Structure 1
Amino acid sequence: MEGIIVRRVIPSDNSCLFNAIGYVMDHDKTKASELRQVIAATLASDPTKYSEAFLGKPNAEYFSWILDSEKWGGYLLNWLLSHYVMCYYEGAIELSILADYYGREIAAYDIQTSRCDLYGQERNYSERVMLIYDGLHYDALAMSPFEDAPEEFDQTIFAVQKDRTIGPVEGLALNLVKDQQSKRRYTDTANFTLRCGVCQIGVVGQKEAVEHAQATGHVNFQEYR
């Protein structure tokens, strides 16, 4: 095996999760609209499984929300609100659905903790793709033959071996994640500082931001240090 693991940056346009998946699955960073439709169709097909208790909001509301290209990822308060009431890891529901849609495992590496959450592993899929998550944003991970090689040479799909790993590639990916962690290339959402753009009040972490938004209706926050 020759090459290096690289982080391929996905635009911060509210659809980074979907476009990151599009890149690692299809080498296409413009799949968001299509994959939003996949999620919505899956939710609609099984409202019993994808209940309000599971989703954190009514099925029909989540259906409409996920189809809105202005939602998810780039708009901070939407992220805060959905993250706070829905699940511990942004995108867990979507990643599980998309792993089954493509028939491949999806490994999502969290920079802050260096944790790897694996979706689709219970299905024993024979291939895996990898994403990296900085607390607010998803990018793609790929194997490149050398530093600064063009993206068309990227390998993004890896065979799962008998031991349910992807061999040495897994160690290379973790090394990159730990390097990003050492450089603090992540957002600590429990402790980051925000300022309300309406009343200029400062808050710390997603919990205080959500409480302030719910109490005042203010939805314009900026991160500051």
Structure 2
Amino acid sequence: MEDGGVLVRRVIPADNSCLFNAVGYAMEHNKEKASELRSVIAATVKSDPVTYNEAFLGKLNEEYVQWILNPEKWGGAIELSILCDHYAREIAAYDIQTMRCDLYGQGKGLTERVMLLYDGLHYDVLAVAPFADAPEEVDQTIFNVDKSGSIGSTAALAANFVQEAHRARKYTDTGKFTLRCSVCQKGVVGEKEAVEHAKATQHTNFQEYC
């Protein structure tokens, strides 16, 4: 990181594909990579049904392949691990609620890392800019990993950023949040009820409300 740089949160559109577009922006400065990256994941999973079996995926291999290609479906740990290998870069996913950092690709000898920020529902990107209001075009989103497996002072900045966001409660508690189904307008509380409603009705579009 250059002297004088500041850590900034780059917001990714909330369109059910934020994970994929966040990775696209972090890796390539492109917020419209979702369709391409979903296809990468689908091809990877389809090509290796032994590794990506029903127990691992939570559904049959062929069902998952069709599921992940649906632009309304969200991504998570499985998708991040595949994209880490696809780009040959580590992906650090910081969770605001738990203040945990899940590092994908650790121990694989990768020499670069990108950073995502997760608020319980949505993924954004952590980047370093020359100054607070700098345009996104000058963001640094890829950071060198040293021999000790660290990205130096940038990691400390990211940890502090997450701690401050946590103190400000800038996250959604998925066990208690309230959602309304955009299809039938039914209200549900928490991720468990949302999943149960989706399974029963095949409705997968939800909006948070107070």
Normalised by the length of structure 2, the TM-score is 0.91
- Structure 1 residue ranges without an equivalent (≥5): 73-89
Q: Which of 162, 184, 189 lines up with 2:169 in the alignment?
A: 184
RMSD: 1.8
Amino acid corresponding to residue 10 of structure 1 in structure 2: I
CA separation of 1:156 and 1:196: change in aligned 2, threshold 3 A: closer
Return the match for 1:52 from 30, 51, 54: 54
Judged with a 3 Å threshold, the aligned counterparts in structure 2 of structure 1 residues 46 and 224 are, in CA distance, closer, same or farther, namely same
The 3 A distance-change label for structure 1 pair 107 and 195 is same
Identity %: 67
Distance change in 2, residues 1:221/1:105 (3 Å): closer
Correspondence list, 1:15-164, <5 A? 15-72=17-74, 91-164=76-149
- 2:35 and 2:202 mapped to 1: Cα distance? 29
The unaligned stretches of length 5 or more in structure 2 are none
Judge conservation of contact 1:196–1:218 (CA < 8 Å) in 2: no
User: Deviating runs (4+, > 2 A) in structure 1?
Assistant: 193-200, 208-215, 217-225
Deviation of 1:224 (Å) = 2.9
Shift of 1:206: 1.5
Offset of 1:194 from its aligned partner? 3.3
Question: Equivalents in 1 of 2:40, 2:198: separation in Å?
Answer: 31
Greater shift, 128-137 or 179-188, is seen at: 179-188
In structure 2, the CA distance between the partners of 1:165 and 1:213, relative to structure 1 (3 Å rule), is same
TM-score (norm 1): 0.85
How far does residue 68 in structure 1 lie from its aligned partner after superposition?
A: 1.6
Shift of 1:218: 7.5
Between Structure 1 and Structure 2, how many residues are aligned?
Answer: 206
Structure 2: distance between partners of 1:98 and 1:28: 15
Q: Name the SS for the 2:98 alignment partner.
A: coil
